[in-house]
Amino acid sequence: MMNKEIIDKNKTILEKEREVIENMLSDFADENKDGSGDWDTRYPDFRAKGNLEEEADEVEEYTSLLPVEKALEEKLANIKEALKKIESGSYGKCESCEKEIEARRLKLIPETRVCNRCK
Ligand SMILES: [Zn+2]
C-alpha cells in the first residue's frame, strides 16, 4: 500500500497545482465546454483594430502561446487523473508495469503516471 502521508501531502499539492494551472490557462485560453478538458488559446480579435503591425504581433503571440497551452493542458490532465486515482484508491500505481511508483518519484512529480523504470 502506498504511504498515506505521501498521498495526503500530494493531494494538497495537486489541488493547488490544478488551481494555479487553471488560472494560468484562463488568462489566454478558454476551456472547451464539451468536458474533454481541452483548452483553446483565444485567437486575437482584429475587428476594432486595422493596425497591421499590431495584428502581426498578436498573431505571433498567439502562435507562441500554443505550445504553452499544450504543455499546461497536458499537466492539468495528469493532475486531474492523479486526483481521481487518489479518490479511487489507485494512486501511486504505475500505468505501464502496474507496480508501485517509487516514493521519491511521487514526491518529485506528484502527477506522474509511470514509475522510474517505465518513464
Ligand atoms: Zn512501471
Tens of pLDDT, residues 57-91 = 999 999 999 999 999 999 999 999 999 999 999 99
- Which sequence spans correspond to the domains of the chain? 4-91
CA of 34 to the centre of ligand 1 (A): 32
119 pLDDT tier (thresholds 50, 70, 90): very high
Residue the block writes with cell 474533454: 36
- Residues in the 5 Å CB sphere of ion ligand 1: 94, 96-97, 115, 118
Which of 28-32, 43-47, 78-82, 109-113 is predicted with the least confidence, judged by mean pLDDT?
A: 43-47
Amino acid occupying residue 48: A
40-70 residues labelled b (16+ CB within 10 A) or e (exposed): ebeeeeeeeeeeeeeeeebeeeeeebeeebe
CA of 115 to the centre of ligand 1 (A): 4
Among the listed residues 88, 87, 86, the one whose alpha carbon sits nearest the alpha carbon of residue 106? 86
CA of 14 to the centre of ligand 1 (A): 21
> What percent of the chain has pLDDT above 70?
97
Neighbours of 21 (CB within 10 A): 18
